[in-house]
């Protein structure tokens, strides 16, 4: 094995990415230097935040340069180690990028528990699960008896948001695309109600459905989505409600800035309902990651936390799986198995 493969950013997408925005490249197998570790990637994570990294705009993290490897977290086995901390065969995770192999410094890798499926480190016990846990703990002020609404509810963040909130005594309402996902939300993730946003053409119709599912109003809205779901939910917020802005996937593929201007109405809702809107990015919270793992790893191991994965096969299929995910084609956490 003298070659490695990687997916690079071939050009910047206009709106929704297309396959031609990516390139599959081969290169010589990298050699780890002093204190470095060579990892053979077995599982790669695909996440919505990567869409933002493809744009050349100033954001909370650097964008991927043209011709550079697409960023992302992977899980794999150590092939060669020049660090005392790691030995050949260790199961590890780190920011490998969309690559078959990666050389990382020992400090950039974390050893994984062999007792759990390796891919859990990318989803339920990785960044998405941690995002849900940290965001709810830091910003949502959950109280038993309250009602929570979350979109993309069978995804790895939404499904964890729902399960944590449910465990704390909230009424949980899932918004998902299609009857199959709604059934999963109820049956697998335990949501009290699930609403198919595709069955509602506009915010008004979706709002009527949420109103029926949330007879006491909405206290916590976890924002994964933006767009129609935000417009539907906001007028249902109770006084002193909380909104955690974690993602706006409905707006990722380029935003139609035609009218009407929704901002005045949203600002008015924030004012009259005394809402608290908190933007969150998980990178602010890594100090709490050990506490998250300590709390949630046993629950996942015992099957008390459900999770779903969609697995695409082969690095070469990562772009198509990524594009499908941005269009809502996945059901659970999107993984690429190499």
**Residue position matching structure tokens 């297309």:** 18
Closest distance of CB 152 from a second copy, Å: 15
Q: What angle do CA 30, 35, 40 make, to 5 degrees?
A: 40
Query: If you count them, how many residues does the chain have?
Result: 338
Q: Which residues contact 138 (CB under 8 A, 6 or more apart)?
A: 278, 280, 285
Between CA 269 and CA 313 the distance in angstroms is 45
Based on CB atoms, which residue is closest to a second copy, 55 or 108?
55
Residue 2: CB atoms within 10 A of its CB come to 5
Closest distance of CB 305 from a second copy, Å: 26
- What are the helix (H) ranges across 302-338? 318-326
Between CA 185 and CA 192 the distance in angstroms is 9
List residues binding a second copy (CB under 8 A): 59-60, 223, 226, 230, 239, 245-248, 251, 255-281, 284
Cα–Cα distances (Å) from 100 to 270, 317, 321, 334, in that order, read 47, 12, 16, 17
Between CA 269 and CA 250 the distance in angstroms is 21
Closest distance of CB 261 from a second copy, Å: 5
Closest distance of CB 303 from a second copy, Å: 33
Based on CB atoms, which residue is closest to a second copy, 8 or 224?
224
Based on CB atoms, which residue is closest to a second copy, 31 or 255?
255
Distance of CA 151 to the CA centre of its chain: 12
Based on CB atoms, which residue is closest to a second copy, 81 or 269?
269
Closest distance of CB 263 from a second copy, Å: 4
Closest distance of CB 54 from a second copy, Å: 15
Between CA 111 and CA 85 the distance in angstroms is 9
Based on CB atoms, which residue is closest to a second copy, 278 or 297?
278
Query: Maximum Cα–Cα distance for the chain, whole Å?
Result: 64
Closest distance of CB 279 from a second copy, Å: 4
Based on CB atoms, which residue is closest to a second copy, 208 or 239?
239
Based on CB atoms, which residue is closest to a second copy, 79 or 277?
277
């Amino acid at each position: 094995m003298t070659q490695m493969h990687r997916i690079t950013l071939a050009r910047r997408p206009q709106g929704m990415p297309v396959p031609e925005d990516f390139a599959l490249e081969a290169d010589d197998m990298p050699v780890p230097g002093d204190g470095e570790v060579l990892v053979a990637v077995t599982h790669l994570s695909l996440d919505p935040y990567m869409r933002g990294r493809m744009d050349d705009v100033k954001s909370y993290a650097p964008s991927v340069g043209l011709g550079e490897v697409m960023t992302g977290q992977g899980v794999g086995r150590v092939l060669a180690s020049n660090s005392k901390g790691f030995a050949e065969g260790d199961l590890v995770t780190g920011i490998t990028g969309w690559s078959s192999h990666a050389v990382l410094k020992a400090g950039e890798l974390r050893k994984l528990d062999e007792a759990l499926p390796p891919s859990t480190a990318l989803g339920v016990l990785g960044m998405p699960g941690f995002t849900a846990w940290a965001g709810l703990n830091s910003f949502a002020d959950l109280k038993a008896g309250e009602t929570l609404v979350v979109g993309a509810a069978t995804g790895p963040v939404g499904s964890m948001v729902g399960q944590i909130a449910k465990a704390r005594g909230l009424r949980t309402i899932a918004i998902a695309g299609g009857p199959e996902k709604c059934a999963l939300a109820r049956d697998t993730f335990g949501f009290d109600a699930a609403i198919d946003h595709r069955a509602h053409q506009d915010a008004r119709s979706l709002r009527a459905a949420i109103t029926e599912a949330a007879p006491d109003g909405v206290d916590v809205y976890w924002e994964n989505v933006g767009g129609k779901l935000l417009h539907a939910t906001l007028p249902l917020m109770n006084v002193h409600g909380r909104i955690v802005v974690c993602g706006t996937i409905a707006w990722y593929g380029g935003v139609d800035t035609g009218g009407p201007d929704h901002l005045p109405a949203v600002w008015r809702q924030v004012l009259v309902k005394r809402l608290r809107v908190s933007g969150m990015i998980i990178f602010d919270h890594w100090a709490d990651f050990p506490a998250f793992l300590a709390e949630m790893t046993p629950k996942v191991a015992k099957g008390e936390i459900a999770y779903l994965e969609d697995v695409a096969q082969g690095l070469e299929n990562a772009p198509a799986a990524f594009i499908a995910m941005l269009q809502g084609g996945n059901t659970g956490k999107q993984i690429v198995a190499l």
